[in-house]
Amino acid sequence: MTRTAFFISDGTGITAESLGRSLLAQFENLEIRMITKPYIDTLEKAHELVEVINGVAVRDGESPIIIDTIVDSNIRQIISDSDGFNIDIFSTFLEPLEQELKTHSSYTVGRTHSIGKDEAYMDRIQSVHFALDNDDGARTHQYDKADVILIGVSRCGKTPTSLYLALQFGIRAANYPLTEDDLDEDGTLKLPRVLAPYQRKLFGLTIDPRRLAAIRHERRPNSRYSSMDQCVQEVSQAEGVYRQLHIPFIDTTRFSVEEISTRMIAEMGLVRRFSPR
How confident is the model over 40-85, as pLDDT tens digits?
Answer: 999 999 999 999 999 999 999 999 999 998 888 899 999 999 999 9
pLDDT band at 7 (very low <50, low <70, confident <90, very high): very high
42 annotated as ligand-binding: no
Beta strand 249-251 pairing with 85-88: unpaired
Q: Confidence band (pLDDT; 50, 70, 90) for 251?
A: very high
Span 79-103, pLDDT tens digits: 999 999 998 877 777 777 888 888 8
The full set of domains in the chain, from first to last, is: 1-99 (3.40.50), 117-266 (3.40.50)
Residue 111 annotated as part of some ligand binding site: no
Which has the closest alpha carbon to 34: 2, 10, 62?
2
The backbone torsions φ and ψ at residue 124, rounded to the nearest 5 degrees and listed phi first, read -65, -45
Strand partners, 189: 183
- Dist. CA 168–CA 196, nearest whole Å: 28
Q: State pLDDT tens for residues 118-173.
A: 677 778 888 989 999 999 998 899 999 999 999 999 999 999 999 999 988 999 99
pLDDT recorded at residue 244: 94
Band of pLDDT at residue 114, cut at 50, 70 and 90 = very low
Whether residue 63 contacts residue 32, with contact meaning beta carbons closer than 8 Å, is answered with no
Contact 260, 268 (CB under 8 A): no
- pLDDT of 106 higher than 70: no
Torsion-angle region of 145 (φ positive above 0: left; ψ -120 to 50: alpha; else: beta): alpha
Does the annotation flag 61 for ligand binding?
A: no
Within the chain, residue ranges assigned H as helices are: 14-24, 43-60, 73-80, 89, 95-101, 119-133, 158-169, 209-219, 228-244, 257-268
127 is in an annotated binding site: no
Residue 181: pLDDT over 90: no
153 labeled part of a ligand binding site:
yes
Strand, coil or helix: 212: helix
Comparison of pLDDT for 255 and 97, the residue scoring more: 255
CA–centroid distance for 99 within its chain = 33
Task: Label residue 116 by pLDDT band (50, 70, 90).
Answer: very low
244 or 183, which is more confident = 244
Rounded CA-CA distance 39/28 in Å is: 30
Please report the sign of the dihedral spanned by the C-alpha atoms of residue 116, residue 117, residue 122, residue 123: negative
- Continuous segment of H or E residues that includes residue 206: strand 202-206
Residue 69 annotated as binding site: no
Nearest to 201 by CA among 155, 267, 277: 267
Measured distance CA(127)–CA(174) in Å, rounded: 10
277 pLDDT more than 80: no
Contact (Cβ atoms closer than 8 angstroms) between residue 64 and residue 58: no
> Does the pLDDT at position 34 exceed 80?
yes
